[in-house]
Amino acid sequence: MKFSLAYEMQRPMLDDHAVIEETIEQCILADEMGFDAVWFVEHHFLTTFSGSPCPEVIFGALSRLTKRIRLGFGVSVLPYHHPVRVAERVAMVDQLSHGRVEFGTGRSAPYEQIGMGIDPRDTREMWDESLSMIPKIWSSDHFEFEGKFWNVPPRQVLPKPYQKPHPPIWVAALQPATYEIAAQKGIGVMALGVNAPAVLEPEIKKYKAAVKNATPVGLTTNDQWLSSIFGLCGDDSKATRDLSAQSLKTFFGPGRPYVQDQKDVYEKLLQQWGGIPEHLLSNFARYVDVDKTPTATNGNSANSFDLSGGGLAQKIWEEFDSETMAERGVIVAGDPEACIRGAKLHEATGVDELQFLMATETVGHESVMKSIEMFGKYVLPEFRKNNPGPTEPNCPLT
């Protein structure tokens, strides 16, 4: 199993320069400690939350400051950009990094889409049309296209990617419908919903079976599954676990970008975390209709339950304890031994890559640096017995 880091470049003090410098320092250390990849989001207008509008720019720096770690667009929001520009920028980073790019794709959310002048109702078709174009741009001496959203007369588009035939292609996915689309198109799944591994395991198995029959949108199939979670390693297991849990809860707190305008978001998050723990079900028994809340075989409430009463689901979610999160693999946090146990929960479900969000507004730079170092020294070696870590990128055909 591979290990990577995700970056929102959060900036609680609105100090752009400090966040940029700290992020680069963390990525250089992650390269030295043996992490497989760093992934950067693309967000716009989230001025108190994320400061990562142009991953390709920071990748230009990282391509020369790192040696082996892969650079992941996590993701490039295809509806915002002309497909030719996406193909050019991704290929340029791939050239600069000597073939270390992972090409994640997605559509973003209505707040950002509307800010970019994009009708949210068009974004699925725009993503699909752009995705169909980009691999052809990379593989064609001269490219031309006539579609619903973009038209390109015959043109030569350079540079081409360093990797042959092209960088691995992924899609950000939050629901089974997108997992199915990924399997059909032969692209990797980036499961970004912060799920307990037991919840995702059936979906991983379905994807792995279906992707074998893919009609690849690119020139090759990427059949990998990436799961994104919150992770943190430190000397004091309980304190580290509590800090990671607080980071997660702050990230998905009321009014935050990833939950804004979503209906029943905390009911969904409880489902993603494996249901209501037995002790919380008891604590809230007077409010929860237990007869309508089935109990799973592991003693926790199942993934469907009745939570009438307005903010009840949010209150239960807020009370969700870090110990249960760690036991279920919702977070991989604590001392090295605890992190190894948590990561193995994901490995057992068939996950190919485990992506950690460590650097948030809750977790300071020094704590992140210590965590990266401890993962590299104590955790990653436990998973390298049959996989030595990042390998040399695919070289051009000669």
Given pLDDT bands bounded at 50, 70 and 90, which one contains residue 286? confident
Q: Are strands 188-191 and 169-173 parallel, antiparallel or unpaired?
A: parallel
Q: Are 115 and 7 found together in one domain?
A: yes
The whole-angstrom separation of Cα 353 and Cα 104 is: 14
In a domain, 330, yes or no: no
Counts of helices then strands in the chain (DSSP H, E): 14, 11
Task: Please determine, for residue 326, whether its predicted confidence score (pLDDT) is greater than 50.
Answer: yes
The whole-angstrom separation of Cα 131 and Cα 149 is: 12
**Which one, of 242, 238, 234, 241, lies nearest residue 374 by Cα?**
234
Q: Are 364 and 313 found together in one domain?
A: no
Residue 387: per-residue pLDDT? 64
Residue 361 has what DSSP assignment? S
Residue 282: per-residue pLDDT? 86
Given pLDDT bands bounded at 50, 70 and 90, which one contains residue 166? very high
Q: Are 50 and 7 found together in one domain?
A: yes
Given pLDDT bands bounded at 50, 70 and 90, which one contains residue 301? very low
Contacts of 300 (CB under 8 A, 6+ apart): 274, 275, 276, 277, 278
Q: Rounded to two decimals, what is the model's pTM?
A: 0.91
For the residues 321-331, what does the mean pLDDT come to? 98
The whole-angstrom separation of Cα 288 and Cα 320 is: 15
In a domain, 178, yes or no: yes
Percentage of the chain surpassing pLDDT 90?
Answer: 77
Question: Peptide bond before 159: cis, by omega within 30 degrees of 0?
Answer: yes
The whole-angstrom separation of Cα 176 and Cα 186 is: 15
Q: Are 174 and 305 found together in one domain?
A: no
Locate 281 and state its tokens: 């079900």
Q: Are 311 and 339 found together in one domain?
A: no
The whole-angstrom separation of Cα 29 and Cα 372 is: 7
Q: Are 124 and 269 found together in one domain?
A: no
In a domain, 54, yes or no: yes
The whole-angstrom separation of Cα 168 and Cα 219 is: 10
Residue 257: per-residue pLDDT? 78
Q: Are 175 and 289 found together in one domain?
A: no
In a domain, 392, yes or no: no
**Which one, of 16, 6, 106, 100, lies nearest residue 62 by Cα?**
100
Q: Which residues pair with 230 in a beta bridge?
A: 331, 357
Given pLDDT bands bounded at 50, 70 and 90, which one contains residue 394? low
Residue 190's domain comprises 2-235+335-383
The whole-angstrom separation of Cα 223 and Cα 381 is: 24
272 CB neighbour count, 10 Å cutoff: 17
Q: Are 293 and 219 found together in one domain?
A: no
For the residues 138-167, what does the mean pLDDT come to? 97
Task: Quick: pLDDT tens for 82-135.
Answer: 999 999 999 999 999 999 999 999 998 888 888 999 999 999 999 999 999 999
The CATH number assigned to the domain holding 127 equals 3.20.20.30
Q: Are 263 and 375 found together in one domain?
A: no
Task: Quick: pLDDT tens for 335-385.
Answer: 999 999 999 999 999 999 999 999 999 999 999 999 999 999 999 999 987
Question: Peptide bond before 75: cis, by omega within 30 degrees of 0?
Answer: yes
Q: Are 103 and 215 found together in one domain?
A: yes
Given pLDDT bands bounded at 50, 70 and 90, which one contains residue 390? low
Domain boundary among 291, 319, 347: 319
Q: Are 191 and 308 found together in one domain?
A: no
Q: Which run of H or E residues covers position 298?
A: none
Q: Give the count of domains, the chain.
A: 2
Percentage of the chain surpassing pLDDT 70?
Answer: 90
For the residues 231-245, what does the mean pLDDT come to? 98
Domain boundary among 285, 319, 353: 319
Tell me what the pLDDT averaged over the chain comes to.
Answer: 90
In a domain, 242, yes or no: no
In a domain, 250, yes or no: no
Q: Of 147-151, 231-235, 307-311, which gets the smallest average pLDDT?
A: 307-311
Q: Are strands 151-155 and 143-146 parallel, antiparallel or unpaired?
A: antiparallel
Residue 283: per-residue pLDDT? 86
In a domain, 395, yes or no: no
For the residues 221-242, what does the mean pLDDT come to? 98
Q: Are 110 and 208 found together in one domain?
A: yes
Given pLDDT bands bounded at 50, 70 and 90, which one contains residue 136? very high
Q: Are 125 and 148 in contact (CB under 8 A)?
A: yes
Residue 14: per-residue pLDDT? 63
In a domain, 360, yes or no: yes
For the residues 289-295, what does the mean pLDDT come to? 50
Locate 84 and state its tokens: 């030719």
Task: Please determine, for residue 295, whether its predicted confidence score (pLDDT) is greater than 70.
Answer: no
Residue 126: per-residue pLDDT? 98
